[in-house]
A and B are shown apart, each in its own frame.
Chain A
Amino acid sequence: MVAQQRHVDPAQLEELAQRGVDAAHTAGAQYAEVRITRTVRHRYPFVFERLDVDEERIGVGVRVAVGSGWGFSANPSLYLDDVVQNARDAVSMAQAANVKTVPSIEMGIVPSSKGRWVTPVRIDPFTVSIEEKLDMISYWFNMVREFGLIFPDGGARSWMQFVRQERVLATSDGTLVTQTLFESGGDIVLANGNTFLRTGGAPLHFSVPGLGFAGKGWELFLDAKLEEHIPQWRENAITRRKAGFKINAVGRKTVVCDGATMAAVLDATFGIATQLDRALGYEADAGGTSFLDDPLGMIGSFQVASPKVTVSANRSASAELATVAWDDEGVVPQETTLIQDGILTDFQTTREQAPWLAPYYGRHQRAVRSNGYAAAEDALAITLQQTPNLSLTPNPAEVQLDDLVANVQDGILIEGGIVRTDWQGRNGWLAVPSGFNGNDFAMMRAITNGRIGKVLQGGEVMFNTSQLWKGLQALGGKATQQTVPRSQYGFGDTKAAPKGQPSQSTSHSITAVAATIPNLAIINPARKA
C-alpha cells in the first residue's frame, strides 16, 4: 500500500491522485481535481541557535463540481481507501451545494498537462545539515563583532526559515503534474547595542537587505556575504542618523516612496482590488469587496492610475514566490497586464472566473482563458483565486531614487514602508515599522530643496487609493526596483493576506520601482479628535 512508505515515489503519489480523480468521476463529478501536498518547514531563531520548528504537513484534497456546487473533502491520509472516500465525500458535498436553478459551473477547456517541475534553487536547503546551518549562525554571531556590531537582544529578531512543498495535481481533464516548490527567507538584524536595555533612544539597528522570502534555497544566505557588505550597511545607517531627528509634521506633502514601499502599496491596493471574485462580491463575508466593483463596466476603460502606471501579474518571475509551472487547476499561468497606462485592463482569474469577463475578452479578440491564478496554501485548503506575483513597470528612462528626491522642494522620503487598507482597498495608511520592529533602513526622512535631511519620527500617510495612483507624478527606473515578499509562512508585515472561508493564504512577490506622489496627507496617528 502506498501509505506504508514514509517517503513516497512521486509516481506513486501521481497514481494515487489519478485514482482519486477516477473515483470522483465514477461518483458523478463533472469536474474533479485531486491535490496531494507534503510541506516541510524548518525555522532557526538565532536567539536559540537551534532548529526550533520542524513541521511536516501532508494533505490530500479533492475538489469537484456538480452542477452549480463545489464540494471539497480533505484529510492527511495517503491510504488509497481514504483518498477514494475523500472523492466520494467531495461529490456528496457538491451535490448538497448544487442548486438546480443556478447555472452550472463552467470550467472551460484547457489542454491537459503532464510533467514535473522544481523551483530552480541552487542548493536544496534540506540537503544542508542542521550542523552546517548552526555553524553559520555561530560564525555570524562572532563575525559581526569585528565591525562593532552585535545581534541585539541575543538575536531575538533574527531567524531563518526554509520550506519545501511537494505538490501533485491530477484533474479530470487529464492533467497530471508534480511540482516541488522551495521558499527560503529570514531576517538578520544587527545593531550597536541592545534594544531592550538601552536608555536614551534606540541604538543604531538595521535589517540586512535581501533576505526576504524568495523562491531560493540555501544560497539566499550564502550569497548575502555579510562580511563584505556590513561596512557599507553600517556606514549607510550612521549617515542616515547624522542629520538628526525631528517630529513629523502633519499636513500635505509630496512623498517619494522607494521601490519596497511602492510594492507594499501595490499589493494592498490593486493586488486585492483586481481579484475578480472579490470585485464581484464573493469575498463579501470574508476579506471584503473591491472598489473596482463593476468589472465588466470598468475593464478596458476605467482610469485607475496615472498614465505612467502599468501593472502586470505573472507566475513566472525568477525566484518569486508565486512562480510555478502550473496552477492548481492545471493551467499554465500567463503574464497578464492588469493596468495599462493607467487603465484597468484585466482581473486575476481562474478557470471558472474567466468566462465572467467573456464579453470583454470577445470585444478585444482575446481568448476566454484563465490567467492561471488558482492556488491553495496546501491540499487541505480549497482552491481559490489567489494573488500572483505583481510588477509595477519601471520608467524606461534611467531614473534613480536620488533623481526623484532632487525634484522635491518640501517632502518626505519613505523607505521600507508598511501599508494597511480597508476591506475594499479604497483607503489606506502608510507608515514605517517602529518600536521592536523598527529598522534604520525603513524610515521616513525629510526632503528639503531636493536633499534628504532629518529622520522623521511619528506620523503616517493616510491616502485614498484612487487619488494616490492617479496623482503619481514620476516613476523610478529599473535601478530603483525592489521586490518584497508576502509569504503564507511569514509573520507580521511579510505575511500574505488571508482569503476565503476558512481563511488561507498563499505566497507571492511584488516588484515595484520608486515613485513620487504629491499632496499626500500626513497625519498624527496618536491624535484623538
Chain B
Amino acid sequence: MTNIQPTRPRFLSEADCNDLMRRLSRYSHGGGYTGLVVDSQWVGSTRWARNRIVNASDVCDTKVRVLRIINGALCNAELSINGTSDTALVALLRRAERLTQFSTEGPQEELLTRFQPEPYVSPSLFFESTYDLDAGRRTAAAQPVIQAATDTGMWSAGYFQVTARSMGIFTSWGIGLYFPYTWAECSITARDPKGVGSGWAAVDWPDWSKIDVSALSSVALDKCLKSRNPVAVEPGRYETILEPQAVCDFTQNLIGHLSYGNTASQEEWFNKTPWKPGAIGHARLGERVIDERLTLRADPMDPELGFPPWAFQGQTIADLQWTESYHAATWIEQGVLKQLSYGRETFGIFTLGRSEGLPPSGAFRIDVSGPTASVDEMIATTKRGLLVTRFDLMWPVNNVLQSGVTRDGLWLIENGKISKACKNLQFTESILFALNNIEQVGVPRRAFRPPAYDFQPPQPVIVPALKVRDFSFTALVDAI
C-alpha cells in the first residue's frame, strides 16, 4: 500500500484567511470597507469500474470573493478568483473598485452595521479519519469491493471521495467567521455484465470511519444478484416500501416548501393563502400536515446529522446581512406544523419581531415515534406491493406533484415475500399525499445526499424506511 503524505497545506486555515484579509486591506485603494468570503477545499477521490481502479485524484481549489464599498458606492458584482497570491488579490481589488463606479444605489454604508453575525454553534465536523484517507488507503479500501464482485462474476463500479474544506467571512470592520469541516462519500454500484441486473448502495458522513464499506458492498452486490432478469409489472397504485434512500430522494424537496411563502404567484403548501407583505397568521401552524408518527427537524449540533452552522447566501457586501446562522429547528412535530423558515431581515425582524432568523440549511431528519418495523417486517406484512431501493431522474410536474424513476432494485412483494424482480417504473406522486398515507415506519438511517456542486455546504439527511399506501406508478421504464 502506498502511503502518500500531503506536502502542502490542502486548504486555508483561519490564520491564512486572516492574512488574506490583512493583505486585502493593505492593497485596497480609495478607502471604504472591504469584505472577504473565502472557500477552500481539498478533494481526494478514487474511482473504479469494471472491477479495476480507474483513477485516483487530489484537487485543491479556493474561491475568493471580494466585497467593496467606497463612499457609499457598492461593488455589487459577484467578483471572484481562485488564487490567493498578492497579484491575484490586487487584480481582484482593482476590478472591485472599478465596478463601484457602476453603482446605481444610494449610500450603502448603513447596511454594514446590520451585519452583526448571530451567535452560531460549533459542531465538530473535522475528522482526521477523513483527512488522512490518502490514495493508497482509498485503493486498499476499494480492492475488497472489487474482489467480491469478481468472485460472483459481477462488475463493480464505485467512488470514494474525501473532502476537507474551510469557509470564512471576514470584514475590514472586524467580523470574522471561520468554519472547517471534512466530508466523505462512498457509493458502490454492482452490475451484471450482461446488463440484466443492477444494485447500489451509498452513504456520506463527515467521518470516514463511520462508513462501512464492506456492508455497502454486500448490499449493492446482493441487490444486483436479486434484481437480475426483471419482469414487467403493470403500472398502478401499490402499497410501496420505500427504503431510506428512496425516502430521501422523494422527500428532499419538502424542506424548501417549509417556509413562509415568498412568491405571491405560487400556492404554498403550508400557507393558507399566498403570502402578502405584512400578512401574519396565514400559515397552517398548529395543523396536522403529515402522519402523526413523523417529526421533521434539523440541528447542526446533532451528532448524527451535523452540518456547517452558517452559510453566505449572497454575492455583494450588502448581502452580508443575509448571512444567517442555522439553529436547531423542529419544523413538523408528530405530524403537526410547528415552524416555517424565514430570513432574519425579510421576516424575522420586520414581520415577526424576532432578532434572529430561522433559515433552512437543506439538511433534515425524519424521526419517528411509536412502533417501528424493519424492511423485512414490512415485506412480511405486505400482501401485494413493491420494494424500492431509490429514485433517479426526479423532476417537478407542477407545484404539488413530482415524478421520477425507480433504479437499482425494484421488487414485487406477494403474500409477504419478494416474488420477483421488476423492471423499473416511473412514479407521479405528491410528497404530502405519500406522507399522509403511511402504513409502517422504520428506524431512521443516514441516506446518501452529497453536495451537488463545488463548495456547496453539505445537506445531510436521515430518514426511515416507509411503507406507503397507494403510491402511484404511471409508466414502465425498462432501463436497468
Contact = CB atoms under 8 A, between A and B. Distances in A.
A80 interface: no
A529 B428 contact: yes
Nearest to B161: A502
B155 A69 contact: no
B135 A71 contact: yes
Interface in A87-110: 89, 92-99, 102
A527 interface: yes
Nearest to B202: A285
Contact of B265 (A57, A196, A285, A523): A196
A280 B77 contact: no
B391 to A, nearest CB: 12
B350 interface: no
A294 to B, nearest CB: 8
Given A72-B56, A92-B135, A56 B475 contact: no
Contact of A501 (B45, B95, B195): B45
Contacts of B200: 285
B57 A525 contact: no
A479 to B, nearest CB: 34
A283 B159 CA distance: 10
Contacts of B392: 422-423
Interface stretch (B24-32, B185-193, B249-257, B374-382): B185-193
Interface string A401-424: 000000000000000000010111
Interface in A419-456: 420, 422-424, 426-427
Contacts of B99: 50-51, 54, 130
Contacts of A282: 49-50, 54, 157
Contacts of B134: 96
B79 interface: yes
Interface stretch (B81-89, B338-346, B361-369): B81-89
Contacts of B158: 285
A422 B405 contact: yes
A47 to B, nearest CB: 12
Interface of A (DSSP majority class): loop
A132 interface: no
A528 B429 contact: yes
Contacts of A85: 7-8
Given A6-B91, A76-B83, A501-B45, A526 B4 contact: no
Given A68-B52, A93-B57, A502-B161, A55 B78 contact: yes
Interface residues of B, number: 83
Contact of A54 (B79, B187, B479): B79
B474 A56 contact: no
Interface in B114-171: 134-136, 138-139, 143, 155, 157-159, 161
A291 interface: yes
Nearest to B84: A76
Contact of A74 (B60, B87, B157, B473): B60
Contacts of A55: 78-81
Contact of A73 (B59, B87, B91): B59
B477 interface: yes
12 contacts: A6-B87, A53-B78, A70-B54, A89-B7, A93-B58, A281-B49, A283-B157, A285-B49, A285-B187, A285-B189, A426-B479, A501-B45
6 tightest Cβ-Cβ pairs between the two chains A and B: A70-B55, A96-B135, A75-B60, A284-B157, A422-B479, A528-B472
Interface of A: 3-6, 48-59, 61, 68-77, 82, 85, 89, 92-99, 102, 130, 134, 196, 280-286, 288-289, 291, 293, 380-382, 420, 422-424, 426-427, 462, 501-502, 523, 525-529
Given A380-B61, A427-B477, A529-B235, 20 more contacts: A50-B102, A52-B77, A53-B77, A59-B82, A72-B55, A75-B60, A82-B8, A89-B4, A92-B135, A96-B139, A280-B50, A282-B49, A285-B157, A382-B55, A422-B393, A422-B479, A427-B479, A501-B47, A501-B159, A528-B401
